[in-house]
Structure 1
Amino acid sequence: MKIYTKGGDKGETSVLGARVKKTDVRIDAIGAIDELNSSLGMSISIARTEGLDQLAAELVVLSHQLFDLGADLANINNTIPLKIVPAYTEAIEHRIDVYTELVGPLTRFILPGGSHTAGALHRCRTDTRRAERILSSVPNVPQAIGPYINRLSDYFFTVARLANKELDVDDVFYEGRKTVE
């Protein structure tokens, strides 16, 4: 199979059951999810490099789910069963609760950073929020996607804190009104 098809040369692309303009908001949302998944792939690689293999394995599962989410978005005619289900959101909520117990309650604002893994996961968090904003403009998004993507950004924030804790690196706390000298 060739990697190129020439099917998109005139500004259209295929989704399951139709051809749409590449400027369609649905394609923008699918692209945002793909970009998030790329950031997640980088986070997985960094987590492995820093010895956070268990976290990396958990992130790989989410990478597969994000690929499925993209497929659900492309499934505009409901030609195949949806892949993102409420149980995925419930599992993320459970992990957030478990990890929040480990890192302790949030008492101050936290800036992105600390360890390399935490910085990469904060990037995933912001990419998730951007994807969520784009998704809010897409018509007929499968019902399970909204809660899933909303919880996912909270998850990335929480596991960024967890990565710092496991690597014995302090979170970067917001101090306010700082100036560069």
Structure 2
Amino acid sequence: MVKLTKIYTRTGDRGDTGLGDGTRVAKHDPRVEAFGSVDESNAVIGLAQLHAEGELHDLLARVQNDLFDVGADLCTPEQEAPAYPPLRVTTAQVEYLEGRIDACNAELATLRSFILPGGTPLAAHLHLARTVVRRAEREVTALMTGQTVNPEVLRYLNRLSDLLFVLARRANGNGERDVLWVPGANR
């Protein structure tokens, strides 16, 4: 269990931060950018959760907990024979999201157009969360070009953005209140 007795340490006052393995990197390091966007995704999902109830509220709480696992995974670079086994995202976490996507999507009408982000307050927050998760996903792929990253992290973020899209449609009356894009409507 984590025990935080002091919130500020002053160790980052020079523009660097510590990773899970103890190494120090610049706060603008690609790895820090990636887990920073995961943290931001978690915060936006927290805003969406304010508008959610019941099963959806619980699902978003589970996702928020998983996103801390994603952040922990990203902040600890892969290494041979680590002193302590690092927390890594698992295939089971990805498969759980896939199951939720399939179950939620089965109740939705087939899309005939792209959807504009919006509708109900919950749907709007879920769309915002989806876009932040997509940014985190892009940052993880950038990180993967130069460093080793658990591939389940990328799979998790990819599925999560899909889940948030489907949940936004559900929050819009199972798609009935989706705002559809009309190509060239304002030319």
The TM-score with structure 1 as length reference comes to 0.91
Unaligned runs of 5+ in 1: none
Conserved in 2, the CA contact under 8 Å of 1:103 and 1:165?
A: no
Q: Given the alignment of the two structures, is residue 59 of structure 1 paired with residue 60 of structure 2, yes or no? A: yes
Q: Measure, in 1, the Cα distance between the counterparts of 2:184 and 2:67.
A: 38
Conserved in 2, the CA contact under 8 Å of 1:114 and 1:169?
A: no
Aligned length: 175
Aligned to 1:179: 186
CA shift for structure 1 position 178: 2.8
Q: Given the alignment of the two structures, is residue 83 of structure 1 paired with residue 95 of structure 2, yes or no? A: no
Identity score, percent? 39
Conserved in 2, the CA contact under 8 Å of 1:37 and 1:66?
A: yes
Higher helix share: 1
Q: Measure, in 1, the Cα distance between the counterparts of 2:132 and 2:138.
A: 10
CA shift for structure 1 position 164: 1.1
Conserved in 1, the CA contact under 8 Å of 2:123 and 2:172?
A: yes
Q: Measure, in 1, the Cα distance between the counterparts of 2:106 and 2:112.
A: 13
| Deviation string, structure 1 residues 40-95 (Cα, Å, up to 9, x no partner) | 10010122xxxx32201100000000011100111114543333101111111111
Aligned to 2:40: 35
Q: Measure, in 1, the Cα distance between the counterparts of 2:94 and 2:131.
A: 18
Conserved in 2, the CA contact under 8 Å of 1:113 and 1:122?
A: yes
RMSD of aligned residue pairs (Cα, Å) = 1.6
Among 146, 156, 162, which residue is 1:148 paired with? 156
Conserved in 2, the CA contact under 8 Å of 1:92 and 1:155?
A: yes
Conserved in 1, the CA contact under 8 Å of 2:88 and 2:150?
A: no
SS of structure 2 residue aligned to 1:20: strand
CA shift for structure 1 position 169: 5.8
Please tell me the residue identity of whatever aligns with 1:7.
T
Among 104, 112, 125, which residue is 1:120 paired with? 125
Q: Measure, in 2, the Cα distance between the counterparts of 1:4 and 1:81.
A: 24
Please tell me the residue identity of whatever aligns with 1:123.
L
Unaligned runs of 5+ in 2: none
Q: Measure, in 1, the Cα distance between the counterparts of 2:138 and 2:99.
A: 24
Please tell me the residue identity of whatever aligns with 2:183.
G
Q: Measure, in 2, the Cα distance between the counterparts of 1:98 and 1:108.
A: 21
Q: Measure, in 2, the Cα distance between the counterparts of 1:104 and 1:87.
A: 28
